[in-house]
Chains A and B, each alone.
Chain A
């Protein structure tokens, strides 16, 4: 039984980090159609923000909680600068955007190496996350459960923003028909900026979870960016529920395969499966239904 529950929990928490990274992409890529390859570096910025917060507030119990909104803000502002400085001029040039943001990602990685060194820094676990929750004889580490809770809160927050708020309706309207949104009195430029801020900020929150799980590293974003893109595409563009299911499946399948193969082989097999799935169902797990004209 343990051979089943352990990878299930490990995979669910890995999927949770992937989900937080993918939620941001679900906005900037899934909703706005921008291929931002520097999104992984926003995750890295969130991880370093967690580290720096611990340098300022020495109590790990407090600093991790404080790091969540600060990481959101730092990564969000980086995203805002990227959107205002570069991406806004390239909305109809996806290939250029891809290449330029790869370059921006490399600059951010080098900046992190210059500031913090090429080696990673550890992040202290808060006392309240040490230990395990024991259910039916199985031990569930609090850190992994915290990651899952963080993903659920991020998901709930984003879903509420999109579904329940006026600004969320403006985002969805702008995505569906930009010209029509403008003629309804919506400043679509303002919507673009704030959407990018929120999407990038979510990557920062993911960085807090990554920092707790594996510390900081200037290149940590590169290991999350491609899986996060695959998760958004496999879930179905613009479909949050698809992103959630795809992130969880990728996390859990990888965790089970890791029992039989090495970690990297397991990842390769998982993503090969995603690619095969997309060949069969290019629209992803969930699709949008409409009757006719947009």
Chain B
């Protein structure tokens, strides 16, 4: 589904990600883990087109999308939930959703579907998104991205900075999404245990390089913790 071949990315003169190879199989779920500053978010931003790559190739369904702009990648089935519960603060919750759903023939039904997934948002539809709590904004961010009908969902630390009682809800939704056969998932997550339960393969990134990779599952927790401790 998604293939990164020898991808290097940086800001100005500073190289942040070096020669990374990574693959997300169709219908599969992959976790990327690493300490703060390891280059995880930089790698994801390059994968979705928000940062240009210095070298390497990004393939989506076998098509070279390295030079494509982000909205063109979205149309090819790539959905992205960025770090930090980002929303459009001056748009209402409903407007945030309609921004994506309008123009699609079954837009109203799709909105209804994501509201079934995140029922807490139903009562918040007229409220400006900038006035929602962090957890509510994250639910809105995931719901809005699901409306793009992605075949590959890229999630950047979806539980970071969220109050604990909402984290469980969000983890439940992500676990359900990773279990879907028609959806591939690339997940960056600090909670090693959850990330490995939800995905079938992992990569550990340190100082912008892949230092370890393997099959996911609860059994891999010790290996990942060891790799991250180095």
* Docked complex Cα distance between A187 and B70 (Å): 8
Number of residues in A with C-beta < 8 Å to the partner?
Answer: 26
**A182-B49, A183-B82 known; A290+B91 contact, CB < 8 A:** no
User: Which segment of B35-43, B124-132, B204-212, B217-225 sits at the interface?
Assistant: B124-132
User: A169 contacts the other chain (Cβ, under 8 Å)?
Assistant: yes
* Docked complex Cα distance between A290 and B133 (Å): 11
Taking CB atoms, residues of chain B closer than 8 Å to A179 are: 50, 70, 82
Among candidates B75, B90, B102, residue contacting A290 with C-beta atoms closer than 8 Å: B90
B71 to A176, Cβ gap below 8 A? no
B89 to A183, Cβ gap below 8 A? no
Among candidates B85, B99, B133, residue contacting A184 with C-beta atoms closer than 8 Å: B99
A289 to B130, Cβ gap below 8 A? yes
B128 to A166, Cβ gap below 8 A? no
Taking CB atoms, residues of chain B closer than 8 Å to A183 are: 48, 50, 70-71, 74, 80, 82, 145
Taking CB atoms, residues of chain B closer than 8 Å to A189 are: 69
Among candidates A176, A184, A185, A291, residue contacting B131 with C-beta atoms closer than 8 Å: A291
Q: How many A-B residue pairs have CB under 8 A?
A: 90
Kindly state the interface size class of chain B when it binds its partner: 20 to 34
**Residue among B88, B131, B133, B148 with the highest chain A CB neighbour number at 10 A:** B88
* Docked complex Cα distance between A186 and B50 (Å): 13
Among candidates B82, B87, B95, residue contacting A169 with C-beta atoms closer than 8 Å: B95
Beyond A182-B69, A182-B74, A183-B70, 19 extra complex contacts between A and B, CB < 8 Å? A166-B99, A169-B91, A169-B98, A173-B88, A173-B99, A176-B88, A176-B89, A179-B50, A181-B88, A183-B145, A184-B74, A184-B99, A185-B71, A185-B100, A185-B148, A186-B99, A187-B71, A238-B90, A294-B86
Cross-chain pairs A/B with CB under 8 angstroms, 15 sampled: A166-B99, A169-B98, A173-B88, A177-B88, A182-B49, A182-B50, A183-B48, A184-B144, A185-B74, A185-B75, A187-B69, A189-B69, A289-B128, A292-B134, A293-B86
